[in-house]
Structures are given as structure tokens and as C-alpha cells.
Chain A
């Protein structure tokens, strides 16, 4: 049944800092800049934002700091523990908080020195802590990083459906082509299938170096309010048609005890999302599918139903996901090329796609004038984007998803 809150809430402002490998400043400084940029994008003053949500893995600042730094007073805030797939979940929580009357307008931020300070997988600043609890069963066996923790799912999927490294490389190639038209992207160079296959192995047989995202220092912000309030605001709203937050597979953290391990959370929450939004896959013009690794993207296309199970390899090879294709994916370059943000940048990109104001190399992008020439160093705006979908990933067992319209 179509959701009762469909189109009643929207994203009215987005912003970020520079994506870099050495920000040279605190996560508090990064978050303050990103929230300020989103506030300015929305045309809001500090006293018009009274809610704040953030997520972190012990690597970020607090809402109560950022509110001080921008002169706000809040009616609601939460700093949640979380990583990938938190973006869409917190958008849903923001809607809930406003609907409950706790606040009116929520700024959601993520800030991390993800390269220079706390690396994914607990290396860098966190490396010296004692290993206890469930980590004993992983780190004692040399299993620590994200791709290692996902690899049993990926390898088994390769066996069951005949996926090759070359299939996966098509995802990186597409996203790198998109990033070449994104001035913000940390890796703007276009790569080839051979570049991916010839890059060094990280985990065999599922990830070469270029199948992995680029750890990045950055902060990002998304502002959510009601459609009613958005009427008077500066930007064309991106309406939230439906959202699903951090849905799980059976077994949760220990999903590999239950199986099938080659199926991911989207299989369970996807039908709920499309039902609430009242649309079908054919209605989706642009996707933002979490690309911590090329494999996360492929699996989610299958389990959210953009192709049949086992045909993700054909979908990514078909050209559909490329700019100029049927349903371009991660037009900013995503985590593989623009920068790793735990999902925020893919929602921000889709908001800009819906506005027709993607910040590419077209001289008049701010006026919504685009050439739609997708060759290197040119345009990345998709024409006439009506509906977008985001698919956030935490791990095979946990995901979130969001459908927006203009």
C-alpha cells in the first residue's frame, strides 16, 4: 500500500566539504563547514534548523558542538552509531522526528577524517586496542577489513552465478567515467577494464585495489523538512516518496549461519520500498547504489530487482548504468571515485540530479544548463530526471533504501 507520508517530506539543502586525503583539520571543523554549506544551499538561517542527526563510528564530532559553532539551538538531536546505510535510515528518522512534533527541520551530517585519521577496518588511530568479544573470532584469523568481512558472500556468489573480475570491473569503469566530469571527485581519471584487472589484489578472488572505494577526509550534510515548509524555500525540493532504514537479513550479524549468504538485505526491504513509493523499477531514472566495493553494487542491483538474481553481471555490462544509459548509477563517481562518505554523497548527487543542477564542468550548471555531452571533462547531468533511488549498504545483512522525486 502506498505510504501515508509519501511526498510529504523532502530534502531542501545539501552540502559538503572538499574530498581529500589530508584535511588538516578536525571533524568538527569539517562538519561545521558541511552543515553551513547545506544551510546556505537551502537558504536557511541557523534559527530555522532545530533538529540534527549524525552518525559515526567513534570517528566524528557531536551535534552539540556543531550547533554551537553555527549558533543554533536544537529541539531534537541524536548522534547515532553507524556506518554505511545510515544515510537513508537517518532521513527516515528525521521524517519521523518531525512527524512526531519533536522538531521542524533536521540537518543530517557525517564527518570523518577517513584517510588521515581513522581508517575503515580499525587501522590507523584505532589499531592498538585489545581484541575482545566477537572481534576475537575475526582478528585472530586475520579478518578485519570491510572487504574481508564481505568476501565469503562475494566468493560464494561468484561460484553460484559465474561472476568474473571483468564483470565487476565494468562498474569501476562506469563510475570512473562519471567522476571525470565531477570537479569534486578525488579520483577523476578514467580507468579501463585492464587497469582494474591489473591492479594488485586486495582479497582474492573478489577485489583488486581498483574494486575498492577511496578512503577520504570529508563531511557531508542533507537537510530534511516538510513539503509544507519547503514551499517557501530556495531550492526545488527533492520529495521523499519512500524510505527503508537498516533492514536486515535473517541472522543479522551472523547471517552466514543462515544463508543463502549470496543474498543481501535488499531482497527483504526492496518490495516494501517500492510498495510505499507506489512506483516500479521502470519508473527509476537514476540510481545511487553503494559502491564500497564493486561487488556491493552488483549484489544490490540483483536483490532490489533491477535485474534477475544472477544477472547483475549482465546488467552492469549492458551499459544501463553508464551516463547516457537506461539508468545511470552513481553519476558523481560514488565511493569508488568521488570519495568514501558512508553513503551521503550518493543521496546528495541524486538531489542535484532531480534539481537539474549537477555541479559538472558545464559553465552554466547553476542555471540548470547542461550539454549532456558525457565525454571526459564535460557534463554528468542526466536529462529530465523525475525519480531516483538510493541503495545503502552496511554489510550483506544490512541495508537501507530511498526513492525520491522532483
Chain B
């Protein structure tokens, strides 16, 4: 794959990147995927080479719904990447996907990091960012041909307590 220019950074997704290339290949078709173990069937949120549940090295990409809940968040007020300065303040969210939530223990979940964007694919207003709000995947297609999985607020009712720090 080429080196993509995105917000002043050279994003280098190499052909031998056995962790992340498939994630972005799927994103280019507007699909969100995670790795699934071909032995025990468990999904994993970080697409590493081994299964954290059974150590199997056999995996395949599995498309997921792209629906989830904000598990934690941050609002970057001071960007140290120059290309992100016109986005400030922007939210980075840790989204817990609906698949395999709380399985096999209540603390486990498939958690994906991305920005929270609005319908114009610009940063969501910070007062709308809160733990517990429901989100769905959206794909940001750059001029360079890179597709980045991102999230937008959905119309679904929140899951559990909605919390944001009042600043």
C-alpha cells in the first residue's frame, strides 16, 4: 500500500503489516472488522497475531456491526500534531463494541479508539461527548485514498449512566 498523507503525517501501512493492514483494507470497503480466532471463536479488539484466550495463531477478519457505547473519552485542547490544530478541541473516544461486551468477564470488551465526529465528518461538539452514549461507525475517506474508521453519535438510547465531566 502507498504512504498516505493525512493531516501532515505519512501513514505507512506496509504489505507485511499483519496486524493493521487488513483493518484498513476492510475500512476502504466501509466495513469495520476485528480478528476472530479460528480455534476458540473469540474476537479480539486489538488485532494481534495470537489469541489472548487460547494462544492460537489462526485468525480471520470478522465484520462487526460498528455499533457500540462510549467507554471513555478525552477532549484534546492542545494538539501537538500540527495537522490536527484546526480540529481543536477534538474528541478521542474509546468505544466498546456491542459484540462480546462483558465476555468472558465483566471487564472485558472489544474497545476501539477513534475520533467522535459529526455528520459533516468534523469533530463533534465537546458538550455532546459523554461516557455511555451510543455510537456507530462512520468512515472518513481522505483525498489520498485512506479510509479511517471513525464514530458518530447514534439515535439509540444510551446504555447505562451517561456521564461527562462538566467542563
Cβ 8 A contact of B20, one of A137, A145, A203, A261: A137
B165 engages A142 (CB within 8 Å)? no
Report how far A159 CA is from B7 CA in the complex, Å: 32
Interface 9-mer from A91-99, A109-117, A125-133, A344-352: A125-133
Inter-chain contacts of B48 with A (CB < 8 A): 254
Report how far A155 CA is from B77 CA in the complex, Å: 15
Cβ 8 A contact of B12, one of A132, A152, A155, A260: A132
Residue B158 interfacial (CB < 8 Å): no
Q: Mark B71-100, 1 if CB is under 8 A from A, else 0.
A: 111111111110010010110101000000
Most chain A CB within 10 A, of B12, B87, B148, is at: B12
A259 engages B108 (CB within 8 Å)? yes
A155 engages B74 (CB within 8 Å)? yes
Cβ 8 A contact of A142, one of B3, B7, B108, B131: B7
Asked, given contacts A142-B79, A204-B77, whether A257 binds B109 with beta carbons under 8 Å apart, the answer is: yes
B74 engages A159 (CB within 8 Å)? no
Asked, given contacts A131-B12, A206-B74, A257-B108, whether A145 binds B80 with beta carbons under 8 Å apart, the answer is: yes
Report how far A251 CA is from B76 CA in the complex, Å: 25
Chain A nearest CB, measured from B84 CB (Å): 4
A130 engages B3 (CB within 8 Å)? yes
Report how far A138 CA is from B113 CA in the complex, Å: 8
Residue A258 interfacial (CB < 8 Å): yes
Inter-chain contacts of B6 with A (CB < 8 A): 140
B72 engages A204 (CB within 8 Å)? no
Inter-chain contacts of A151 with B (CB < 8 A): 72, 74, 92
Q: Mark A140-153, 1 if CB is under 8 A from B, else 0.
A: 11111100100111
Residue A136 interfacial (CB < 8 Å): yes
Inter-chain contacts of A134 with B (CB < 8 A): 19-20
Chain B nearest CB, measured from A162 CB (Å): 10
B87 engages A258 (CB within 8 Å)? no
Chain B nearest CB, measured from A241 CB (Å): 33
Residue A158 interfacial (CB < 8 Å): yes
Residue A57 interfacial (CB < 8 Å): no
Do most interface residues of chain A lie in helix, strand or loop, or is the interface mixed? Answer: mixed
Residue A80 interfacial (CB < 8 Å): no
B148 engages A159 (CB within 8 Å)? no
Inter-chain contacts of B119 with A (CB < 8 A): none
Inter-chain contacts of B14 with A (CB < 8 A): 132
Chain B nearest CB, measured from A201 CB (Å): 4
Residue B157 interfacial (CB < 8 Å): no
Report how far A201 CA is from B20 CA in the complex, Å: 32
Q: Mark B1-24, 1 if CB is under 8 A from A, else 0.
A: 001001101111110010110001
A256 engages B94 (CB within 8 Å)? yes
Residue A70 interfacial (CB < 8 Å): no
Chain B nearest CB, measured from A307 CB (Å): 22
B77 engages A142 (CB within 8 Å)? no
Residue B126 interfacial (CB < 8 Å): yes
Residue A81 interfacial (CB < 8 Å): no
Report how far A145 CA is from B81 CA in the complex, Å: 9
B107 engages A203 (CB within 8 Å)? no
From 44 to 72 in chain B, residues with beta carbon under 8 angstroms from any chain A beta carbon are 44-46, 48, 52, 71-72
Cβ 8 A contact of A136, one of B13, B72, B78, B114: B13
Inter-chain contacts of A259 with B (CB < 8 A): 107-109
Report how far A141 CA is from B6 CA in the complex, Å: 10
Cβ 8 A contact of A203, one of B75, B87, B94, B109: B75
**6 further interface pairs, Cβ-Cβ under 8 Å (given A131-B9, A131-B10):** A130-B12, A155-B73, A165-B167, A204-B74, A256-B72, A257-B111
Closest 6 pairs (CB-CB, A-B): A259-B107, A205-B165, A201-B77, A151-B74, A204-B75, A152-B72
**What residues of chain A have their CB less than 8 Å away from a CB belonging to chain B?**
119, 121, 123, 130-134, 136-145, 148, 151-153, 155-156, 158-159, 165, 200-206, 209, 251, 254, 256-261
**What residues of chain B have their CB less than 8 Å away from a CB belonging to chain A?**
3, 6-7, 9-14, 17, 19-20, 24, 44-46, 48, 52, 71-81, 84, 87, 89-90, 92, 94, 107-111, 113-115, 126, 131, 148, 163-165, 167
Enumerate 6 A-B pairs (CB-CB under 8 Å) in ascending A order.
Answer: A134-B20, A136-B13, A140-B9, A151-B92, A204-B126, A204-B167
